[in-house]
A and B are shown apart, each in its own frame.
Chain A
Amino acid sequence: EKVMTQSPATLSVSPGERATLSCRASQSVNNNLAWYQQKPGQAPRLLIHAASTRASGIPARFSGSGSGTEFTLTISSLQSEDFAVYYCQQYNNWPLTFGQGTKVEI
């Protein structure tokens, strides 16, 4: 099973600042990695798939990079609606696994 480790657990930033979230895989997942955003009481929303491809309707301030075992989600200029928990997910191998999440807070 591929273990996904996200850091930091909590990221404190101000609106307008840049946020950088990390996700590390225990073994290579190639570029088979997705990022999700989850707000309280809501289902996760797909932001990025294939490590760097934005999902439909996702603003350009969200970008993903990396391959193999190291991945990054960058939010270029945080908006108030971006404060949430972010999860990475690998789909290179069964079972599909998620990271434990990074909470982006003010």
Chain B
Amino acid sequence: QVHLQESGPGLVKPSETLSLTCIVSGYSISSGYFWGWIRQPPGKGLEWIGTISHSGDTYYIPSLKSRVTISLDTSKNQFSLKLNSVTAADTAVYYCAREQDISVAGTSFDYWGQGTLATVSS
């Protein structure tokens, strides 16, 4: 069974960088599939942030592209999100998830982490 678990600081100061990691178990991320980050501001809907392939190709939402980096660490079977120059508007629950299709990028998400709340505040 595939399991994803987010980790990272719960509090980030404005203008600093939010860094989160998603540890994957039950599947080797270097073997295939696409791995994404989705966020949800408190009381609001879902927003896709970006996706990375098992080979490191990345896809980002245009509105965040200048501030986002998603990377892989296959030796630790994890992938990471960095969002720089954060503001209060970046306060959200951040989810990591696996896309459903093993070979085509940009599909639905079948496995999700539990989510981690990141608050931007001084």
Q: How many A-B contacts are there with CB distance less than 8 Å? A: 60
B48 and A98 form a contact (CB under 8 A) = yes
Which residue, of A42, A43, A55, has the highest number of chain B Cβ atoms within 10 A?
A43
Instruction: Please name the residue on chain B nearest to A50 by beta carbon.
Output: B108
Give the complex CA separation of A96 and B97 in angstroms.
13
Chain A interface bracket (under 10, 10 to 19, 20 to 34, 35 or more): 20 to 34
Give the complex CA separation of A56 and B100 in angstroms.
11
Interface residues of A in 18-51 (CB under 8 A from B): 32, 34, 36, 42-46, 49
> B112 — which chain A residues lie within 8 A by C-beta?
43-45
0 or 1 for each of B99-122: is its CB under 8 Å from A? (1 = yes): 010000011111011110000000
B115 and A43 form a contact (CB under 8 A) = yes
Please give the distance in Å from B98's CB to the nearest CB on chain A. 10
B110 and A95 form a contact (CB under 8 A) = no
Give the complex CA separation of A56 and B109 in angstroms.
12
Instruction: Please name the residue on chain A nearest to B105 by beta carbon.
Output: A94
Please give the distance in Å from B40's CB to the nearest CB on chain A. 9
Chain B interface bracket (under 10, 10 to 19, 20 to 34, 35 or more): 20 to 34
Instruction: Please name the residue on chain A nearest to B99 by beta carbon.
Output: A91
A94 and B115 form a contact (CB under 8 A) = no
Instruction: Please name the residue on chain A nearest to B104 by beta carbon.
Output: A91
* With A98-B46, A98-B47, A101-B45: A91-B110 Cβ-Cβ less than 8 Å: no
Kindly identify which residue among B45, B47, B95, B106 contacts A94, using a CB–CB cutoff of 8 Å.
B106
Kindly identify which residue among A32, A42, A95, A98 contacts B45, using a CB–CB cutoff of 8 Å.
A98
29 inter-chain pairs at a CB distance below 8 angstroms, sorted by A residue, are A1-B62, A32-B107, A34-B109, A36-B46, A36-B109, A43-B97, A43-B115, A44-B112, A46-B100, A46-B108, A49-B107, A49-B110, A55-B110, A56-B110, A87-B45, A89-B46, A89-B48, A89-B108, A93-B106, A94-B106, A95-B48, A95-B59, A95-B60, A95-B61, A96-B36, A96-B106, A98-B45, A98-B47, A98-B48
> Which 6 pairs across A and B sit closest by C-beta, in order of nearness?
A34-B108, A43-B112, A96-B48, A98-B46, A95-B61, A49-B108
